[in-house]
Structure 1
Amino acid sequence: MTFRPTTSHWGAFSADIGADGRLQVAADPDDPSPSPLLGNLPDSLRHPTRVTAPAVRRGWLEHGPGPDSSRGNDEFVELGWDEALDLLAAELRRVRDDHGNKAVFGGSYGWASAGRFHHAQSQLRRFLNLFGGFTSSRHTYSNGTSAVVLPHIVGSADDVFRNGSSWPTIVKNTELLVAFGGVPEKNVFVTPGGVSRHHTPGFLARLAERDVDIALISPLRDDFPAAGAVQWYPIRPATDTALMLGLAHTLVVEDLHDRSFLDRYCAGYDEFEQYLLGMEDGVPKDAEWASHITEIPVGEIVSLARKMASSRTFITVTWSLQRIEHGEQPVWTAIALAAMLGQIGLPGGGFGHGYGSMGDSGDIGPDFHVPFLSQGVNPVDEFIPVARIADMLLNPGGCYDFDGAVRTFPDIRLVYWAGGNPFHHHQDLNKLRNAFARPDTVVVHEPYWTATARHADFVLPATTPLEREDFGSGRRDTHLVAMHQVAQPYGQARSDHVILAGLAERLGFGERFTEGRSPRAWLEHLYGSWRKNLAAAGVAAPSFAEFWSSGSYPLPSEEPDRTLFETFRQDPEANRLHTPSGKIEITSAVIKSFGYEDCLGHPAWLEPVEWLGGARAENFPLQLIANQPRTRLHSQLDVGSVSQFGKVAGREAIRIHPADAASRGIEDGDVVRVFNDRGACLAGAVVTSALRPGVVQLPTGAWFDPHGSLCVHGNPNVLTADRPTSRLSQGCAGQLVLVELERFDGTPPPVTVGSPPDVIKR
């Protein structure tokens, strides 16, 4: 066999088709910690859920474009490529001519291919920009809240996400790592664009070898590897901000805070201190107050605060903590707490965000731009925060707040989606189904019959990365990887580029879209331009032919020791932050001026609706954590063997504490019904003491399989609220939801997402 190199969001590997026609994969031999997710590939390449040919929903063919509640339940009719593209080009032209370009929503959000040329979002946005523009989305479901609030606090989100303190610096210098949300090792195998060398598991092991003290603040014990000096604080979910405030109050009253650092490097600390001491509302945010909310004992809070003040302390907050109501607050409060310790900018001290949320957080690879396809410029300035798609479709003309502005939802007539699955990412999927019934036309490029494809009017079969050529590299990746074609396209599948080139030709801008290049010619052109830029910077890269033959190119390395805001600490006047004060804004006059009751001018405890201390918990007494799965990337390749092996009774596995299981008569392996007043799903019970009582954990990403309002496969987003984090960021708040659980007696409905929908061939 001739194994050919390629890469994915979960790692570089090589692959080939065996004599039996089955895909075989092998991890990169130089990867110190290959991802187990590679095991999902062999069973998915030729799976029955692959889309075979262009298909159009029968109702759309018979009645034409328009709102239709039968999306998701209708049959499809297979068409030839020419007929399908002719119909779609005419519909695009109609919507543009009758309603304007802002009536087209370009919904390419998601992970799609690791390849830089066949990056679905770049391809679709390039096409729509040349078409005259479109309504776009901003930020991500993953960290959209932080992306808005961090510039107000420290001047930049990118600095925090991409230039955070490196793992070698942390391992070498940190004495106490306080991990709010932990550092879940399952997540570090994934990075957008690929990971050639997974370094983080090795650094976590070195923390244990050095006996670095770890304070794990999480309802889940396995949110940090078990090895090493880990003290678990099983906090009540959604209350991390209250714990941080209790720690900060202890620092103040025991005079353990660094007043000189606060005076020189921070703005607005005095107002925050007044809040801590209860000068605003008469409620001191002391350890006793925090203990009542978090259920962490008072003595442990005080002891941890003292230990943080006497140690080189690194505070990290996972992205999961900002995917909740008032998600700005744990991020903002953690920065304030780190500032009070006075260690921001010191090696091994300060704060970080996203360690354990993504494989490149703290990684040692270069922050290096690799070849990419230009998207051009969007002539339309209309956009929505990415998590507001259902609100947009359901409320055209409705007003909403966003980062100090009042905006209006556009009237969307055509949704064009490529490279993503909103029926995984979005919350309250029954609401989303209603929203998807509203546009005139929904277009989806998909390799598989996902729920998003089943709710479309046009389903155009897209190739997988193994069925085309590309090159890939992730953020802070160590290599640019040549992605060789390993398999022939399934059925009539075409790449997004080829599909869009066909549409562009029909719409009169084919030459501008392709610039006369084939996909291989594009790869050579993009690589060649990038190589010239490297040469101008004094870096010699091989020719494209040499790169393609060798399979990868090691990117220029950088110094592995890196400390966030080190230069700012050294000279805060010469290296001012991009905030109004040039300093860390513990109180933001700008945010305060917005007058948002759900995001004040300083960090604060704001009680959420979906938490165990609220009134809603009387009816739904379990806090469900809808976190990232360990068996796949989001919903990708849920049909793969690793993902399928993780199911219980054919459903997604839900973890439940023995005490909660016993009180409900639930045993390990039972099918259970998880429900609240938004919907319900079936899942397979796993009884474990690895989470605190009152908490259940059901990962996201099981392919949505609705039977009425019940998802029989275990997608938790039938339960989560489509509620923004706040008026400031309008981010995703889908991490936590209150539910109840009961054993499902009798024969459960079958899981049907492993088979395609009804398709009429003609």
Structure 2
Amino acid sequence: MNRTEPVSELSEDGFLPHTSHWGVFSARMKDGELEVRPHPGDPDPNGIIQNFPAALRHRARIAQPMIRRGWLENGPGPDEKRGRDDYVPVSWTQALDLLGAELLRLRDGPGPGAIFGGSYGWASAGRFHHAQSQIHRFLNVACGGYVRSVNSYSSGSSQVLVPHIIGDYEDLTKRNVSWEQIAEHSEIVLAFGGMALKNSMVAGGSVSKHVERGAMKRAAQRGCAFVLAGPLRSDLPEEAKAEWLSCIPGSDTALMMGLVHTLVVEGRHDRAFLDRCTVGWPVFERYLLGETDGQPKDAAWASGITGVAADEIVALARRLHGKRALIVVAHALQRAEHGEQPVWMGMVLAAALGQIGLPGGGYGYALGAIAYYGRRFNAVPVPTFSQGKNGVADYIPVARISDMLLHPGESYRYNGQTRTYPDIKLVYWAGGNPFHHHQDLNRLRRAFARLDTLVVHELAWTATARHADIVLPCTMTLEREDIGGSSNDPLLVPMHPIVPPYGEARDDYAIFADLAERLGAREAFTEGRSVRQWLEHLYEPTREGLAAKGLPAPSFAEFWGSEGYILPQQPDDGGRLRAFRDDPQGKPLPTPSGKLEIFSETIAAFSEADCPGHPTWLGATNVPDAETPYVLAATQPRPRLHSQFDFGGHSGAAKYRGREVARMHPDDATLRGISDGDIIRLHNERGACLAGVVLTDGIRRGVIQLPTGAWYDPVDPHDDKPLCVHGNPNVLTRDVGTSALAQGCTGQLTTVQVERFDGNLPPINAYEPPAGA
């Protein structure tokens, strides 16, 4: 749009605007009950907003500060009782005095390099009350810094790989192929791992319109063919009318190689594009044709790995040739052993087709993984809260937290460097839940036991809170005011508080301000501003950006009195990749060669056996065997974002007998004596969990799907490998890196055994407060 537009004035029926990672909405309290309704301009609203009513005053909420008894009585230090101790309620004064003293001990003793600022998570969609920004600013200002994490669980390997081979990660995901282009231009979309709407319905910040379903529907109606390669038929919506190419989990790289081999031997690859826009094709081609290792990566070879018939692979390669073809690789593929390879190979396939940089064609890495991707950028800045300067240079890849805590001082490889794990004494977490994101939760429990102190800001008794020494209750988003928005969504939203805080809960900002005072840094942290004054301050660059463009620039008061303003957006011009295609010499990519790197001299020089200098079929070490014959796909959940508001009504309604629901093929179920609706036990050498089961032919034989996000609920917390009765698959997943290059998370796939559970069904206690709380 070419002007700033108010959506409307505030509602007269008591509904006030707010927003979330799941969508913009409005809410009100009526007769003591919370009512929420989606934004009227959203064509496909997300039902996750219906988690709010039941969660608002749920018994799982934390009402006042709590100290773990063992820490209160014995002081800081390693303790195996974390996660199995009771709690003592204390006043805010006592809690902050104790925590302030502990932070001073570490800051002025071993130094801020002994503090890890975890806070990996989605926190709040608000631009000010974003827990990660709040805690990082506090640790930087009051403690001199902290050891941080880099990259994400969602895209840990691709975030390291992409800069070497394509350039800027955001160029590929956010300034490349858009949903509008797909609807208008794409002729065939080959989606490895799919584009499941449960993923694209959420965003890291606010999202006002869910456009993905509509775009795929319009494309399909126009004649665009969607092909899904993966083990789950539901990874593309019905509106896409997709063909399902059922393949073995983790075999996508081999399938891509079989397609490219067919293109090459039949002379259907785009030699001109490869010569003009890539480096390293001759090296890779020799590998592809088997000249370097004696094994051509042809369709027959790929068929034996993928379970897809060779003639289907050949036919698909021929269909891709000469079409406006889009290759999509889901985040899920790189959350596995050797996860860098399908990301790299997806680019090679798109390059061999000569499609990169064309409207609706090329390489749409992770398109559909999140609502941000495939959307335009705003043309003016959105409010951003400064985190200050971190005085500590040390960091770890985000998924290596257990390694760090269990092996301080040990070395590891990451992105061509040999690094050393720091010796962490205190972990401070505000926003996020590592007992959702991390793998091998029993190992994580042992890692947290080695700390001196674990501090958590939390609104409810998650498993992370239950392992903390100091638990500080924070407000829910509906209990505070903020500004909601994102750089990829045009609607800027005034987030009005709907209800007072629960119990003694405080905003993270208020907690950190009082804590900063105990460390002599209150003024530096707050800059003398109240929450409202910060919102006005953060809004000003947006207003100035509008004014600089000659557009209406509403005051903060005008903005706050509206239901939101639509901001102008940048054109959908294909970004850097299209500019590069049009002029490779004049608009080079930010890679070492300035081109797409099919062979990377930089990566080859790292000499990592598990990530060579070009895409390579490496296979998996964790494969089905007699003891664990099934592949478990630990996917993202549909009725919640990760583990957020798992105690909400929308999330709870999707469970069976209170447990997360697994899916398996009827033929596999028959072999194990399992019927639809049974409770099953999944287990391997790392742990075990219970889940309900639904039988469906929409899953490949030999595969079991169990979504993540059910709160970890061990039936016997004193057991070294307790049974999670709630269905958290991360008691089963492996805590190993994707490779020495990226050290990304490998939590997507593992192997398990499954059986019908015939014992007495343990109760769900995940939402019950711990003893003393």
TM bucket, shorter chain: over 0.9
**Contact 2:29–2:35 under 8 Å retained in 1:** yes
Q: Corresponding residue for 2:771?
A: 758
Question: 1:367 and 1:609, CA in 2 relative to 1: closer, same or farther beyond 3 A?
Answer: farther
Secondary structure of residue in 2 paired with 1:721: coil
Q: Which string of whole-angstrom CA distances, capped at 9 and with x for unpartnered residues, describes residues 172-201 of structure 1?
A: 111110000111011111011110111112
Q: Which string of whole-angstrom CA distances, capped at 9 and with x for unpartnered residues, describes residues 490-519 of structure 1?
A: 000000000000100110010010011111
**Contact 1:621–1:739 under 8 Å retained in 2:** yes
Quick one: distance in 1 between partners of 2:232 and 2:210?
A: 24
Q: Corresponding residue for 2:9?
A: none
Q: Which string of whole-angstrom CA distances, capped at 9 and with x for unpartnered residues, describes residues 422-474 of structure 1?
A: 00000000000000101100000000000000000000000011000001113
Q: Report the Cα offset of residue 369 of structure 1.
A: 3.0
Quick one: distance in 2 between partners of 1:367 and 1:179?
A: 30
Q: Corresponding residue for 1:70?
A: 81
1:317 aligns to 2:329 (yes or no): yes
Q: Corresponding residue for 1:569?
A: 581
Corresponding residue to 1:694 among 683, 702, 705 = 702
Quick one: distance in 2 between partners of 1:624 and 1:222?
A: 16
Quick one: distance in 2 between partners of 1:530 and 1:124?
A: 24
1:45 aligns to 2:56 (yes or no): yes
Q: How many residues align?
A: 755
Quick one: distance in 1 between partners of 2:541 and 2:271?
A: 51
Q: Corresponding residue for 1:683?
A: 691
Corresponding residue to 1:17 among 20, 29, 32 = 29
1:500 aligns to 2:508 (yes or no): no
Counterpart amino acid of residue 576 in structure 1: P
1:86 aligns to 2:97 (yes or no): yes
Counterpart amino acid of residue 193 in structure 1: G
Quick one: distance in 2 between partners of 1:129 and 1:307?
A: 54
Counterpart amino acid of residue 132 in structure 2: Q
**Contact 1:652–1:684 under 8 Å retained in 2:** yes
Corresponding residue to 1:27 among 38, 47, 52 = 38
**Contact 1:162–1:367 under 8 Å retained in 2:** no
TM-score in terms of structure 2 length: 0.96
Q: Which string of whole-angstrom CA distances, capped at 9 and with x for unpartnered residues, describes residues 161-182 of structure 1?
A: 2112111112211111000011
Counterpart amino acid of residue 666 in structure 1: I
Q: Corresponding residue for 1:189?
A: 201
Q: Corresponding residue for 1:623?
A: 631
Secondary structure of residue in 2 paired with 1:478: strand
**Contact 1:164–1:352 under 8 Å retained in 2:** yes
Counterpart amino acid of residue 733 in structure 1: T
**Contact 2:59–2:768 under 8 Å retained in 1:** yes
1:118 aligns to 2:129 (yes or no): yes
Q: Report the Cα offset of residue 310 of structure 1.
A: 2.7
Corresponding residue to 1:97 among 82, 102, 108 = 108
In structure 1, stretches of 5+ residues that fail to align are none
Q: Report the Cα offset of residue 205 of structure 1.
A: 1.3
Q: Corresponding residue for 1:558?
A: 570
Quick one: distance in 2 between partners of 1:205 and 1:179?
A: 15
Counterpart amino acid of residue 746 in structure 1: G
Secondary structure of residue in 2 paired with 1:388: helix
Corresponding residue to 2:393 among 353, 374, 381 = 381
Q: Corresponding residue for 1:426?
A: 438
Counterpart amino acid of residue 114 in structure 2: A
Quick one: distance in 2 between partners of 1:394 and 1:30?
A: 49
Q: Pairwise mapping of residues 333-372 of structure 1 onto structure 2 (< 5 A)?
A: 333-364=345-376, 366=378, 369-372=381-384
Q: Which string of whole-angstrom CA distances, capped at 9 and with x for unpartnered residues, describes residues 183-225 of structure 1?
A: 1011111011110111112101112211211111010011111
Secondary structure of residue in 2 paired with 1:345: coil
Q: Report the Cα offset of residue 746 of structure 1.
A: 2.2
Q: Corresponding residue for 1:717?
A: 730
Q: Which string of whole-angstrom CA distances, capped at 9 and with x for unpartnered residues, describes residues 46-79 of structure 1?
A: 0000001000000000000000010000001010
Quick one: distance in 1 between partners of 2:68 and 2:113?
A: 24
Secondary structure of residue in 1 paired with 2:242: strand
Quick one: distance in 2 between partners of 1:234 and 1:563?
A: 33
Q: Report the Cα offset of residue 551 of structure 1.
A: 2.1
Say which is worse superposed, 439-448 or 96-105, in terms of deviation: 96-105
Q: Corresponding residue for 1:515?
A: 527
Q: Which string of whole-angstrom CA distances, capped at 9 and with x for unpartnered residues, describes residues 621-678 of structure 1?
A: 1111001000100000001111111111211000010001111111111111000010
Quick one: distance in 2 between partners of 1:157 and 1:285?
A: 29
Q: Corresponding residue for 2:117?
A: 106
Q: Alignment identity in percent? A: 56
Q: Corresponding residue for 2:404?
A: 392
**Contact 1:238–1:611 under 8 Å retained in 2:** no
Quick one: distance in 2 between partners of 1:5 and 1:410?
A: 44
Q: Corresponding residue for 2:714?
A: 706
Quick one: distance in 2 between partners of 1:266 and 1:355?
A: 22
Quick one: distance in 2 between partners of 1:461 and 1:674?
A: 34
Secondary structure of residue in 2 paired with 1:541: coil
**Contact 2:173–2:367 under 8 Å retained in 1:** no
Secondary structure of residue in 1 paired with 2:486: coil
**Contact 1:37–1:632 under 8 Å retained in 2:** yes
**Contact 2:382–2:487 under 8 Å retained in 1:** no
Q: Corresponding residue for 2:269?
A: 257
Secondary structure of residue in 1 paired with 2:456: strand
1:749 aligns to 2:762 (yes or no): yes
Corresponding residue to 1:212 among 224, 238, 253 = 224
Quick one: distance in 1 between partners of 2:354 and 2:365?
A: 18
Quick one: distance in 2 between partners of 1:137 and 1:217?
A: 33
Q: Corresponding residue for 1:54?
A: 65
Counterpart amino acid of residue 651 in structure 2: S
Q: Corresponding residue for 1:726?
A: 739
Question: 1:539 and 1:405, CA in 2 relative to 1: closer, same or farther beyond 3 A?
Answer: farther
Secondary structure of residue in 2 paired with 1:706: coil
Quick one: distance in 2 between partners of 1:593 and 1:339?
A: 23
**Contact 2:340–2:611 under 8 Å retained in 1:** yes
Q: Report the Cα offset of residue 421 of structure 1.
A: 0.2
Question: 1:182 and 1:563, CA in 2 relative to 1: closer, same or farther beyond 3 A?
Answer: farther
Q: Report the Cα offset of residue 561 of structure 1.
A: 5.5
In structure 2, stretches of 5+ residues that fail to align are 1-12
Q: Report the Cα offset of residue 284 of structure 1.
A: 0.7
Q: Report the Cα offset of residue 754 of structure 1.
A: 2.0
Question: 1:329 and 1:737, CA in 2 relative to 1: closer, same or farther beyond 3 A?
Answer: same
Quick one: distance in 2 between partners of 1:222 and 1:284?
A: 33
TM-score in terms of structure 1 length: 0.98
RMSD after superposition: 1.2
Secondary structure of residue in 1 paired with 2:489: coil
Corresponding residue to 2:465 among 449, 453, 463 = 453
Q: Report the Cα offset of residue 226 of structure 1.
A: 2.1
Quick one: distance in 2 between partners of 1:302 and 1:346?
A: 24
Q: Corresponding residue for 1:272?
A: 284
Corresponding residue to 1:295 among 307, 313, 316 = 307
Q: Which string of whole-angstrom CA distances, capped at 9 and with x for unpartnered residues, describes residues 313-362 of structure 1?
A: 11011111111111110010010111111111112211111122111221
Say which is worse superposed, 562-571 or 200-209, in terms of deviation: 562-571
Q: Which string of whole-angstrom CA distances, capped at 9 and with x for unpartnered residues, describes residues 16-41 of structure 1?
A: 1111x121101111111110111111
Counterpart amino acid of residue 219 in structure 1: P
Q: Corresponding residue for 1:410?
A: 422
Quick one: distance in 2 between partners of 1:530 and 1:429?
A: 42
Q: Report the Cα offset of residue 364 of structure 1.
A: 4.2
